[in-house]
Structure 1
Amino acid sequence: MVDIEQINPRNQAALRAWWEVGHAATADRPGNPWPAWEQTRVSLPADNPEGAVTVLAAIDGREMVGAGLLMRPLRDNLHTATVDAYVRPDRTGEGIGRRIVEELEVVAAGDGRRTLHGEVFVPPGATGTAPEAFAAAMRYDVASREAIRELRVDDYLSRHDRLVEETALGAAYRVVTFDTVCPEEHVASFGRLLGTLFDEIPLGDLELRASAWTPERIRDAEQRQVGIGRHVLTALAIAPDGSVAGSSDVRVNETDTAQGQVGITIVDPAHRGRRLGLALKLATHDLALATYPVLERVETSNAEVNTHMNAVNDALGYRTIETLLELQKRTA
């Protein structure tokens, strides 16, 4: 008899067993799909002003055979929650994943969350896969498609000098870089730009609403990143009037400095057409390499319909390794 139980992420033994399930469940995927244990050990139990988490485990006797995670935003989009479920590979096909998702949905409903999001990952171009069938059986619709892409540092360096020449910004814009903590003189304008994110990026049918990023909220988020050992290596494009015209970042965890992850890249519509996106990505990747010479690869994801950003990633040397299907289910 498999029991579904909530576990305390501060219980290190239970969290390690939970992590092992997720690690095994994602082992056949390309890239680095599962965080290192040392990062999970620190980040999952840590207080997060942006979101609340519920951690579930499927337990058969003394063994953990399934893992679930519910994430609920606390600052905006309070109608939503994100559902993740993992099953140990030797226990798939037994209905364990269904029971985990159903229990996470109960928790979400109790918190008033009526729009649920999830993710499945499939090989590029694949259709009719088992993850898709599971999502459909749980009544989750595909709301958006993204390409998961990987950049090898050697490929990037072989293109670097030519791209720098092509994206010289001249005197009109300057680029400011920083590690995690935004300079005080730019924080308000940076927050204004972040607040437009969900209005500017392709979301497909995902029900997500724009939010306000005050200086206080930015500082809270920065403090969490510092606390869990995640470095958000950021570049801002500063317009002639001093406002933040664009931003991009690469995130590197202290526990795995060979791997980076692109976070947010956005350019104000009023400043597009000047290759700021490419210039900002060059600046963040250069900063990441200067800070972490052992960096080997960087991953990113973009909506398949985002032709401009996909062209930028092509120029940098990114190659598609997976397709992410972003899922949505309305419960009311």
Structure 2
Amino acid sequence: MEITELDVTDDMSLRAVYDLERRACLLGREDQPHWSWQEMSGAVRRPDPGERQYFAVGRDAGRIVGFGAAYLGMHDNLEKAWLDVKVDPSAQHRGHGRALLEHAASVARDAGRSVLMTEALLPLDRLADHRTRRFAEAAGFTLSNVEIVRLLDLPVAEARLDAWSEQAAAKGSDYRIETFVNQIPDNLVPSLVVLIGQLQVDAPTGDVDWEEEQISPERFTEARASLVAAGRTMYETVAIAPDGTVAAQSTISVPPPGRLDASQWGTFVHREHRGRNLGLAVKAANLRAVQAAHPELRRVKTQNAETNDWMVAINVQMGFEAIEASAEFVRRG
């Protein structure tokens, strides 16, 4: 197998990578959500300005049989890198995955990264012995964290949404709940990005410790514009404190037309504003806005660390059902 850097401007090669990734990701989990070509190509060609991305492809007899990727944050956590490897199901068990993994790891090491991470979606009942876990451990990675992936069927009855909002309002009546689509008012962005930056510090992350993410308003605005350009519609519901700052947030990404599953991204409450049911308030309001505007959607997907008792309790209350695990692995040195 020959490994070369991927030219992301090459439509044929990038489309081959997408098709391969789709086959690999959906192997054994064919009914699960997967991003579209429009979303994938948009993310690769217009990445987060605070992150460097590297992609390589492996070719056997001229055919792309696998790819490897390294994602390097450029403003914080500079010792870390996320790696990803996928091999076409028809070409697995030939050493291609290990070769691509070590190639991506060498790119990360050359950039000064000593904490290498990767993740895999695994059946809940095969977390201990799944072949993907065995592959990671054979390459020197150890399990560092487990997040539980959950799905919620849509639409949710308005009466249930009303009840959650009323429950939240009982403790958080001093906060204003507002929902924005794609663009956030300029006066709210500075406090919103501070809040989002705290997420990876306060949320459970297992055996890997994180620094607060450094997100400038300019980086946030550009990243959000990239998501919209890739066909996504971004719903952001925030709780605004009496002083006008963002105290809590919840994000849902609605995919381009043709897909029926939305993605619940982060929901987070500022450290100084907890205990007021603001997490439930913003999640319920965001969900209400999304399903009202997109009646075609049939489910929403989310995931949280299994040790995040607070968020897990909210998801269970809302009816999210566990379907699989997102296992995170780490290798140091």
Seen in structure 2, the aligned counterparts of structure 1 residues 223 and 269 have a Cα distance that, compared at 3 Å, is: same
> Shift of the alpha carbon at 1:243?
2.1
Question: Partners in 2 of 1:18 and 1:231 — Cα distance?
Answer: 25
Question: Partners in 1 of 2:30 and 2:210 — Cα distance?
Answer: 28
Q: Deviations over 1:5-49 (max 9, x none)?
A: 221111010011111111111222265453211222232122430
Q: Deviations over 1:42-61 (max 9, x none)?
A: 32122430212222222111
Contact conserved, 1:36 with 1:255, CA < 8 A, in 2? no
Q: What is the TM-score when the length of structure 2 is the normalising length? A: 0.93
Which residue is 1:138 aligned to? Answer: 139
Within the alignment, does 1:290 sit opposite 2:292 as a pair? yes
> Shift of the alpha carbon at 1:319?
0.6
> Shift of the alpha carbon at 1:124?
1.1
1:302-317 superposed matches below 5 A: 302-317=304-319
Seen in structure 2, the aligned counterparts of structure 1 residues 15 and 163 have a Cα distance that, compared at 3 Å, is: same
Contact conserved, 2:68 with 2:103, CA < 8 A, in 1? no
4+ aligned runs moved over 3 Å, structure 1: 30-34, 154-159
Which is worse superposed, 249-258 or 56-65?
Answer: 249-258
Within the alignment, does 1:217 sit opposite 2:216 as a pair? no
Aligned residue pairs: how many? 330
Within the alignment, does 1:8 sit opposite 2:10 as a pair? no
Which residue is 2:21 aligned to? Answer: 22
Question: Partners in 1 of 2:329 and 2:214 — Cα distance?
Answer: 25
Q: Deviations over 1:113-142 (max 9, x none)?
A: 211110022111322110110010011111
Which residue is 1:89 aligned to? Answer: 89
Residue type of the alignment partner of 2:4: E
Classify the secondary structure of the residue corresponding to 1:167. helix
Question: Partners in 1 of 2:62 and 2:158 — Cα distance?
Answer: 49
Classify the secondary structure of the residue corresponding to 1:190. helix
Contact conserved, 1:246 with 1:265, CA < 8 A, in 2? yes
Structural RMSD (CA): 1.9
Classify the secondary structure of the residue corresponding to 2:100. helix
Contact conserved, 2:55 with 2:68, CA < 8 A, in 1? yes
Question: Partners in 1 of 2:189 and 2:104 — Cα distance?
Answer: 36
Contact conserved, 1:59 with 1:66, CA < 8 A, in 2? yes
Unmatched 5+ residue regions in structure 1? none
Contact conserved, 2:38 with 2:230, CA < 8 A, in 1? no
Question: Partners in 2 of 1:91 and 1:257 — Cα distance?
Answer: 28
Contact conserved, 2:161 with 2:288, CA < 8 A, in 1? no
1:1-332 superposed matches below 5 A: 2-27=1-26, 28-29=28-29, 32-126=32-126, 127-154=128-155, 159-169=160-170, 171-331=173-333
> Shift of the alpha carbon at 1:328?
1.0
Contact conserved, 1:51 with 1:74, CA < 8 A, in 2? yes
Residue type of the alignment partner of 2:113: R
Which is worse superposed, 117-126 or 304-313?
Answer: 117-126
Question: Partners in 2 of 1:75 and 1:196 — Cα distance?
Answer: 14
